[in-house]
Chain A
């Protein structure tokens, strides 16, 4: 089996209880791929204003099924994509509360960073409370920190069964869709990513994260009932991002990283695979972020069938790159606080250099933060990151 055949494997029907033999077959599929198949396209167009611009070139790379991967694999230099919107507040003077409640403030923060760093990518802000709030959850706001979901909306199976599924645009999800629409209007047309939470992390916020952990074992029916609903909502929400003009989304599923690989496969990856299958657009980039996942989770993560993953500090990125097929892109993983907030610029540059050295010769690696860079990160940190990355330099 080679990379050309791999996509068919990815989009087989969901198997929630995929066993060890299934995973072995997956690795045989990926492992048989020759890395050389991706090498001949290096040096082609680096950043495209639209996926379509480069579709006739890099998108023909065997096994690549989204435009972002095509751009990454075709780039002669490592691509840099930190998850950073909130540091833009240092340039706009707005607060975190403004960003999560006002599309213009969110647009301004990201546009300011885009202007400063010439970023080829722009993102809506990471806020893992908006979807839970749309379901009816209670949220506590702060001027300086992303909102927190408080209390428990669902405590019983009956409540889970009766929970209505919101529509995209309900509550503050409208702000993120509108931000994407505005980012889409930037004159130099960067590639626009929307952002959403993952199905398990959303379900966990509805029942309480700590409680959700126990419910995965002692109330699985309740969790699966909720997961059907969260996956349904997220499918619609991602479609709405597509319609708003996004070229892809970054889905954050951190709570799944606290589970065993088997539980992750059953309670997260199966539903993410379902979402990806329903969207069925080969150009739309589906990026799965999990800042808690470790290397042992990788097989379960790959069961999503997605081909772009964004990991946090716990992941051994270099080792993970050895483990995935050549057409699967991995992004990561500088600690957002330990590096971007707490280190001096010179130290940050050293960390970037070390990560680039560890991933040298890997066209399927994207240099990034391991999670959302907080607003406490000084701009000097991002300056150092981009300078060391050598891909985009500050104006």
Chain B
């Protein structure tokens, strides 16, 4: 019987090379792809999130763990899709128009992916119409907007208005976050949720999806 605990540990330690190799071995040995995700990869990222929240892990450790998870997931995702397994949810993440900062967005994407969500990363400086297109074409459940600058915060409101004008606002939940963002601002612009830190991204996603 193949011991898969090292896969969990490789992700926890941000060792992408080992995580990928162990995933390949496990798949070759006939381990069910969903078992790898549910029993080892998601728990590993859950532990990463816990350590991040407890100040045992910091941004570098989180990003490296996410990279390890992503590398392993790339091997598994086609198999999951082929067998009809759906992700927990599908999230479009992006830094809003006018803002070129990506680290907050990357952290949130990493945590969501680690929580079993399919993440469509739209990048930085994302125009409202790109978010609208993601909702229409990719059928996302959540739109996650990031902003670091005070001057780009209004782009969040513009994006929500664009979703309304396109008639898709009711199809998605909109969550927002970033250094200048507050719950008060989220309430003002009609967002469904506000995330204070990346560590809480999965809990927030679960909350807004009910």
Q: Is A321 part of the contact surface with B, judged by Cβ < 8 Å?
A: no
Q: Give Cα distance in the complex from A214 to B71, angstroms.
A: 15
Assess whether A213 is in contact with B60, with CB atoms less than 8 Å apart.
yes
Q: Is B81 part of the contact surface with A, judged by Cβ < 8 Å?
A: no
Chain-B contact segment, one of A144-152, A225-233, A275-283 = A144-152
Q: Give Cα distance in the complex from A110 to B100, angstroms.
A: 27
Assess whether A337 is in contact with B61, with CB atoms less than 8 Å apart.
no
Q: Give Cα distance in the complex from A144 to B149, angstroms.
A: 10
Binary B-proximity of A102-138 (CB < 8 A = 1, otherwise 0)? 0000000000000000000000000000000000000
- Tell me the B105-130 residues at the A interface (CB within 8 Å): 106
Asked if A210 meets B102 with Cβ closer than 8 Å, knowing A142-B151, A337-B180, A376-B151, the reply is yes
- Tell me the B2-38 residues at the A interface (CB within 8 Å): 14
CB distance from A346 to the nearest CB of B (A): 15
Assess whether B100 is in contact with A213, with CB atoms less than 8 Å apart.
no
Q: Is B98 part of the contact surface with A, judged by Cβ < 8 Å?
A: yes
CB distance from B155 to the nearest CB of A (A): 12
Asked if A342 meets B100 with Cβ closer than 8 Å, knowing A144-B151, A145-B152, the reply is no
A145, A217, A294, A338: the one within 8 Å of B60 (CB) = A217
Binary B-proximity of A212-249 (CB < 8 A = 1, otherwise 0)? 01101110000000000000000000000000000000
A144, A213, A341: the one within 8 Å of B59 (CB) = A213
**Tally of A interface residues using CB under 8 Å:** 27
CB distance from A354 to the nearest CB of B (A): 17
Q: Give Cα distance in the complex from A324 to B57, angstroms.
A: 25
CB distance from A269 to the nearest CB of B (A): 15
Assess whether A337 is in contact with B150, with CB atoms less than 8 Å apart.
yes
Asked if A338 meets B58 with Cβ closer than 8 Å, knowing A217-B64, A218-B64, the reply is no
A260, A294, A338: the one within 8 Å of B180 (CB) = A338
B59, B98, B103, B151: the one within 8 Å of A259 (CB) = B59
Give chain B residues whose Cβ lies under 8 Å from the Cβ of A374. 149-151
Assess whether B64 is in contact with A214, with CB atoms less than 8 Å apart.
yes
Q: Is A140 part of the contact surface with B, judged by Cβ < 8 Å?
A: yes
CB distance from B182 to the nearest CB of A (A): 5
Question: In the complex, what residue of chain B is closest to A337 when comparing beta carbons?
Answer: B180
Q: Give Cα distance in the complex from A149 to B106, angstroms.
A: 17
CB distance from A297 to the nearest CB of B (A): 9
Give chain B residues whose Cβ lies under 8 Å from the Cβ of A337. 150, 179-180
Q: Is A258 part of the contact surface with B, judged by Cβ < 8 Å?
A: yes
Q: Give Cα distance in the complex from A210 to B105, angstroms.
A: 10
Assess whether A341 is in contact with B63, with CB atoms less than 8 Å apart.
no
Q: Is B40 part of the contact surface with A, judged by Cβ < 8 Å?
A: no
Assess whether A213 is in contact with B103, with CB atoms less than 8 Å apart.
yes
CB distance from A194 to the nearest CB of B (A): 24
Question: In the complex, what residue of chain A is closest to B184 when comparing beta carbons?
Answer: A342
CB distance from B138 to the nearest CB of A (A): 23
Q: Is A298 part of the contact surface with B, judged by Cβ < 8 Å?
A: no
Q: Is A319 part of the contact surface with B, judged by Cβ < 8 Å?
A: no
Q: Is A209 part of the contact surface with B, judged by Cβ < 8 Å?
A: yes
Q: Give Cα distance in the complex from A144 to B151, angstroms.
A: 7
Asked if A140 meets B100 with Cβ closer than 8 Å, knowing A260-B61, A338-B180, A342-B184, the reply is yes
Assess whether B60 is in contact with A259, with CB atoms less than 8 Å apart.
yes
20 new A-B contacts at CB < 8 Å, known A145-B98, A259-B60, A294-B55 = A144-B151, A145-B149, A145-B150, A210-B63, A213-B60, A213-B103, A214-B60, A214-B64, A216-B60, A217-B60, A217-B64, A218-B64, A259-B58, A260-B57, A260-B58, A260-B61, A336-B180, A337-B179, A341-B150, A341-B180
Residue contacts A-B, CB under 8 angstroms, 20 given: A142-B98, A145-B149, A145-B150, A209-B101, A214-B60, A217-B14, A217-B61, A258-B58, A258-B103, A259-B58, A260-B58, A263-B58, A336-B150, A336-B180, A338-B180, A338-B182, A341-B180, A342-B184, A374-B149, A375-B151
Binding site for A on B (CB under 8 A): 14, 55, 57-61, 63-64, 67, 98, 100-103, 106, 149-152, 179-180, 182, 184-185
